[in-house]
Amino acid sequence: MKKLVVLMVGLAFLVGATAFAADKPVDLGVKPTLQQIGMFVITEANQGVGADDKYFYAVDNQIIAKYDKKSGKLAAKWQGPKDGPIIHLDSALVMDGKLYCAHSNWNEWPMTSSVEIWDAETMQHIGNHSFGINWGSLTWVDFYNGHWWAGFANYDVPYGPNKTPYGYKAATQMVKFTADFKYVESWVLPKTILDKFESMSNSGGSWGPDGFLYLTGHDPAELYKMRLPKAGSVLELVGVLPMNIRGQGIAWDRSDRGVIYGIIRATNQEKAAGGNHKVTISKLIDAP
């Protein structure tokens, strides 16, 4: 009987993106850590990254570059016009042959957001879903347990009307939608997390293989392990995992359980010295 239970739990983690994790978080009573297993220097890794079984996708404001996961060689690239409708791309999610990216009009006012969709094979833009003026600036989107989950950032930086805060950081929230993007419910972030963001906000999010939600900020080199609350409207912080990133978009690799992709955005000083952005790959390790 015990062997059967173990087998069933193992199979739950091998299913596809639409049923990637169990309905409830699985707390194994151990403190997980992340071990870096790879890194590539990637010019386009300025905002976020996504991954499928063969490729990772580096995201810049108006660019998505598709790279071979093994060699790090460029396979294809999509680039929108500077004056086009796509302004500020962030995260990337690959599911069922489609690439879904969070998009906003940062830092214009009023804030608008949409999900933009590409064919992952051809890298052709094939559709979108617009949220209009709602909730804030969309920075990440994920699909988990039959629903869409989306992070809408708001900021304390003075980009709002008459140099007021750009939406106010405290209004940052995660929204749950149906599979056809109908609103279900939403949650805000705890003050302990918001304080880490300083004047910025939540930049990345991805549901992990352990059934927990992992979030990132704009700059800190760490993941915030979260879960839905049993009561109230504030997400619960379970733990903080150091990771070799500088905030921004993250993506769990659903073809390789426990592997997560992130980026290191190069500073202006590093660029002046010949440096560039990087994509980092880490693996979730259960501490003894």
pLDDT at residue 21, as a whole number: 38
Cis peptide before 190 (omega within 30 of 0): no
Q: Which two tokens stand for residue 267?
A: 């500073």
Whether residue 40 contacts residue 279, with contact meaning beta carbons closer than 8 Å, is answered with yes
Q: What is the full DSSP assignment across 235-272?
A: PEEEEEEE-SS-SS--EE-TTSTTEEEEEEPPPHHHHH
**E strand spans, 32-165:** 32-41, 48-51, 55-59, 63-68, 74-79, 88-95, 98-104, 113-119, 125-132, 137-144, 147-153
Residue partners of 238: CB distance under 8 A and separation at least 6: 25, 27, 212, 225, 226, 227
pLDDT at residue 286, as a whole number: 76
Residues paired with 57 in a beta bridge: 50, 66
pLDDT at residue 1, as a whole number: 43
pLDDT at residue 32, as a whole number: 81
Domains and CATH numbers, the chain: 2-286 (2.40.128.630)
Residues paired with 152 in a beta bridge: 138, 173
pLDDT tens by residue, the chain, 288 residues: 434 333 333 333 333 333 333 345 545 455 789 999 999 999 999 999 999 999 999 999 999 999 999 999 999 999 999 999 999 999 999 999 999 999 999 999 999 999 999 999 999 999 999 999 999 999 999 999 999 999 999 999 999 999 999 999 999 999 999 999 999 999 999 999 999 999 999 999 999 999 999 999 999 999 999 999 999 999 999 999 999 999 999 999 999 999 999 999 999 999 999 999 999 999 998 754
Whether residue 69 contacts residue 56, with contact meaning beta carbons closer than 8 Å, is answered with yes
Q: Which two tokens stand for residue 89?
A: 């791309």
pLDDT at residue 31, as a whole number: 74
For the segment 232-243, what is each residue's pLDDT rounded down to a tens digit? 999 999 999 999
